[in-house]
Chain A
Amino acid sequence: MKPASNYHPVQRAAPYWFLAPYLLLALVFFIYPLFEATRLAFYQTHGALAREWVGLDNFVFLFRDRNFIQALSNTAIFAICNCALMVPISLGLALLLNTRNNRFKGFFRVLFFSPNFVGQIFVGIMFAVIFLPRYGLMNRFLQTLLGWGLETEWLTDPAMVMPALILTNLWMYVGFNMIYFLAALQNVDDSLVEAARIDGAGPWAVFWNVTLPSIKPVAIFVLVVCMINSFQFFDLPWAMFRQTFGPGNSALFMVSYLYDSAFHTGDLGLASAVGWVLGAIIMLVSFVQIKVLGTGTEDA
Chain B
Amino acid sequence: MNFPLGRAPFFLLLLAVASGLGVWLTHGHYGETRADLILATHARLHADIYRARIPEFEKRYNVKVDIQEVEINAMRRRLQAAFLAGTEVPDLVEVPDNIANYINGPLKDIGFLDLTDWVKEKKLDERIVASRFSLYTTRGRIFALPHDVHPVMLAYRADIVEDQLGIDVSTIKTWDDFVAMGRKVTKDLDGDGTPDRYALELSVERRSAYLQVLMSQRGDSLFNSAGEVAFDNERMAELLVWYVSQLRGPNRIAFNTGEGQPMWRAMMDGLVLFYFMPDWRTRQVEQWAPGLEGKMKLMPLPAWTPGGIRTSTWGSTGLGLPKRGRNPELAKKLAEFLYTEISDGGAAWSGLHILPPSRDAWQQPEFEKPSAMFRGQPFMKLYAQLAPDVPAVPVTPFQTKAENALNQVFQACDTYYRANGERGFLEYARTQLKIRADQVRLYMTRGRFLKE
Contacts and interface: CB of A to CB of B under 8 A. Distances in A.
- Which secondary structure dominates where chain A touches chain B? mixed
Given A264-B101, A266-B105, A48 B449 contact: no
Contacts of B448: 44, 52, 54
Nearest to B407: A248
Given A266-B84, A266-B104, A50 B439 contact: no
Interface in A49-75: 49-50, 52, 54, 61, 64-67
A47 interface: yes
A263 B78 CA distance: 11
B83 A47 contact: yes
Given A46-B84, A47-B84, A61-B446, A66 B439 contact: yes
Interface in A13-71: 44, 46-50, 52, 54, 61, 64-67
B411 interface: yes
A47 B449 contact: no
A249 B408 CA distance: 9
Contact of B109 (A46, A54, A66): A46
Nearest to A52: B448
A248 B85 contact: no
A50 B86 contact: no
Contacts of A270: 446
B442 interface: yes
Contacts, number: 54
Nearest to B408: A248
Nearest to B438: A66
B21 interface: no
Given A54-B448, A265-B104, A267-B446, A48 B439 contact: no
A46 B449 contact: yes
Given A44-B446, A44-B448, A248-B408, A50 B105 contact: yes
Chain A contact-residue range equals 20 to 34
Nearest to A44: B448
B420 interface: no
Contacts of A263: 80-81, 84
B370 interface: no
Interface in B102-149: 104-106, 109
A247 to B, nearest CB: 8
Contacts of B26: none
A265 B397 CA distance: 9
Interface of B: 73, 80-81, 83-86, 101, 104-106, 109, 408, 411, 439, 442-443, 445-446, 448-449
Contact of B445 (A47, A61, A266): A61
A52 B439 contact: no
A47 B106 CA distance: 11
A126 to B, nearest CB: 20
B442 A48 contact: no
A36 B43 CA distance: 41
Contacts of B85: 47-48
Contacts of A48: 84-86
Contacts of B449: 44, 46, 50, 52
The residue among A49, A65, A263, A267 with the most chain B CB atoms within 10 A of its own CB is: A49
Contact of A49 (B73, B84, B443): B84
Contact of B105 (A49, A67, A249): A49
Contacts of B73: 243
Contacts of B446: 44, 61, 267, 270
Nearest to A65: B442
Nearest to B102: A266
Given A47-B105, A49-B105, A50-B449, A248 B411 contact: yes
Nearest to A267: B446
Contacts of A65: 439, 442-443
A49 B443 CA distance: 20
Contact of A64 (B81, B83, B105, B442): B442
